[in-house]
Amino acid sequence: VPDYLTNLSLSDLVALRGEDVQMTPDILSGMSNGNIDCLLKLRSQRTPMARLKSDTGDSVLHLAATWGHLELVKEIVSKFPRLLLEPNSSGQTPLHVAAHGGHTPVVKVFVEVVNASARLCTEESQRLNPYVLKDEDGNTALYYAIEGRYKEMATLLVNANKDAPFLGNKKGISSLYMAVEAGEVSLVKEILKTTGNEDFEVRKSKLQGSKHLAHVALQAKRLDVLDVILKEYPNLMNEKDKDGRTCLSLGAYTGYYDGVCNLLEKSKESVYVCDEDGSFPIHKAAEEGHKKIVKKFIKSCPDSKHLLNRLGQNVLHVAAKNGEFSISMFLMYRESTKHLGVGQDVDGNTPLHLAVMNWHFDSIEPLAMKNHQILKLRNKSGLRARDIAEKEVKPNYIFHERWTLAVLLYAIHSSDFEIVDSLTVPVEPIDPKNNRDYVNSLLVVAALVATVTFAAGFTIPGGYISDAKEKNLGRATLATNPTLFIFLLFDILAMQ
């Protein structure tokens, strides 16, 4: 037992009595400055130090702990150990403020006090447990230690109490979650070590707030932490997060190639587990354009290319729908996957249908040129890709729509199975009688543009030199600035 705790008695640990006393400015300054003489003076004057409170509800121990005055903390806590449990107006105990400030020696003193109290009375030690106390945000002292990256302090608090790491705050974030997110692998090991040989479900029930630890490690791109978690909680591999995604699906969605490879080495089971939206990991990778991950899935699990989502769409459907040209080309140029091009979803649409519907002209060439059969297929509405393009193209000129139609018609012409008279559809001329409002709107816009352009020519940015005492009276203040000439150049061009 440390010397400053040798005289600690059970009566020192009982609840404080009396009403709070307002702390005067000189006492607040003295405590904040670590002045032990100020403390001794208060004791000689029989001031009720245990009841002194500042405007923010801080006790003398709060102030000493906030500024890391170790000797003052020892002096106060040896006389008034119960102050260790006293919260301020924010619900924070002295342990909270010491942890938040990164004062590890002060935290060590508090741990020694709690240990000493445990030797006095086991029942009392359960009540004298500042490790599990939460502030108004629901945070424990351990949470602040991990948040501040105070590793030595965090390890000390983890070993002091095995329950604190699993307590969640009001946002559903536990200290264990924070340690995983911060990538503190040694700290994560220490926390998991405290659970011993408990069953997985028992361990999981202890954890408050978010329980998707493997997902967090994956998002933080910390494979070392991920390995530790999955070694202790292997069932987390196929668990789904709040968005209904497995770990593998999350890795595929975010494009974390190393994480996907790591998970595939552990187990390929998740490749065949769909998310809540019915998509499989290979679909997520294709949707976001992660070609390298799509290739990894096909190499590791060749049959995954046949997986269908709830719309009956394969990986090529998803890539074509989202305009992922490189993935569409990769799949269509491979002998083992080009047959996916003739696959039809629940509406009878092929990947080419979906590419045309979304006007992804760059995806049409690999889809149509490598397999002419796809051009003849009709969906359940009896429409081919060409029919959809010609039906949906706007009468007014929109480049990507017209270009999509042109590329598609060129592919049809190259296949020689259908005659194509023109690669475009004529733009419908505007009828002046039926489009008067349209013409008037254009005239108003043109007039506004012209007005602003001429006004800018006279209202020079920066203004003019108006002081008669200055040289070059009336000249633009930015006349020597090259950017003014650039402005004038573009303004002149706009007037043309």
Question: Which of 429, 454, 474 is the last residue in one of the domains?
Answer: 429
pLDDT band, very low/low/confident/very high, at 10 (cuts 50, 70, 90): very low
C-alpha 154/C-alpha 144 separation (Å) is 9
Tens digit of pLDDT for each residue in 439-495? 788 889 888 888 887 787 777 788 878 877 778 787 888 888 888 888 888 877 877
The residue-averaged pLDDT of 42-55 equals 88
Residue whose structure tokens are 């269509």: 332
Supply the pLDDT for residue 9.
45
Residue 288: CA atoms inside 13 Å, Cβ hemisphere, count? 19
C-alpha 241/C-alpha 215 separation (Å) is 7
| 373 and 452 inside one domain | no
Where is average pLDDT lowest: 74-88, 259-273, 323-337, 387-401? Answer: 387-401
Question: Which of 413, 429, 445 is the last residue in one of the domains?
Answer: 429
Largest CA distance in the chain: 108
| 459 and 367 inside one domain | no
What single-letter DSSP state applies at residue 112?
H
Is residue 182's pLDDT more than 90? Answer: yes
Is residue 427's pLDDT more than 70? Answer: no
| 343 and 394 inside one domain | yes
The answer to whether position 148 is within a domain reads no
- The parent domain of residue 253 ranges over 243-310
| 340 and 425 inside one domain | yes
| 408 and 372 inside one domain | yes
Tens digit of pLDDT for each residue in 209-258? 888 999 999 999 999 999 999 988 888 888 999 999 999 999 999 999 99
Supply the pLDDT for residue 3.
58
The answer to whether position 425 is within a domain reads yes
C-alpha 386/C-alpha 409 separation (Å) is 7
pLDDT band, very low/low/confident/very high, at 93 (cuts 50, 70, 90): very high
pLDDT, greater one: 18 or 306: 306
Residue 8: phi and psi, rounded to 5, are -70, 130
The answer to whether position 192 is within a domain reads no
Model's pTM, two decimal places? Answer: 0.75
The answer to whether position 71 is within a domain reads no
Write the CB contacts of 401 (distance below 8 Å, at least 6 apart in sequence): 359, 392, 393, 394
Residue 250 is encoded by which pair of tokens?
A: 């999350």
Helix, strand, or coil here: 476? strand
Output the domain CATH number for residue 286. Answer: 1.25.40.20
Is residue 132 a contact partner of residue 96, using CB atoms and an 8 Å limit? no
Considering 96-105, 227-236, 422-431, 449-458, the range whose residues carry the highest mean pLDDT is 96-105
Question: Which of 429, 463, 484 is the last residue in one of the domains?
Answer: 429
Supply the pLDDT for residue 453.
79
The answer to whether position 149 is within a domain reads no
| 253 and 304 inside one domain | yes
Report the mean per-residue pLDDT for the chain: 87
What single-letter DSSP state applies at residue 427?
P
| 425 and 390 inside one domain | yes
| 248 and 294 inside one domain | yes
| 284 and 305 inside one domain | yes
The residue-averaged pLDDT of 257-278 equals 95
The answer to whether position 320 is within a domain reads no
| 424 and 460 inside one domain | no
The residue-averaged pLDDT of 12-39 equals 82
Residue 307 is encoded by which pair of tokens?
A: 């997986």
Output the domain CATH number for residue 374. Answer: 1.25.40
Tens digit of pLDDT for each residue in 61-87? 999 999 999 999 999 998 888 899 899
Q: Residue 139: which of 185, 182, 97 has the closest Cα?
A: 97
No. of H helices and E strands in the chain?
26, 2
Supply the pLDDT for residue 429.
61
Supply the pLDDT for residue 248.
97
pLDDT, greater one: 398 or 342: 342
pLDDT, greater one: 165 or 81: 165
The answer to whether position 315 is within a domain reads no
The answer to whether position 141 is within a domain reads no
| 418 and 331 inside one domain | yes
* Angle separating helix axes 70-79 and 104-120, nearest 10 degrees: 20
Supply the pLDDT for residue 110.
94
Look up residue 280 and give its amino acid: F
How many domains does the chain fold into? Answer: 3
| 333 and 423 inside one domain | yes
Supply the pLDDT for residue 283.
98
Residue 219 is encoded by which pair of tokens?
A: 């998002």
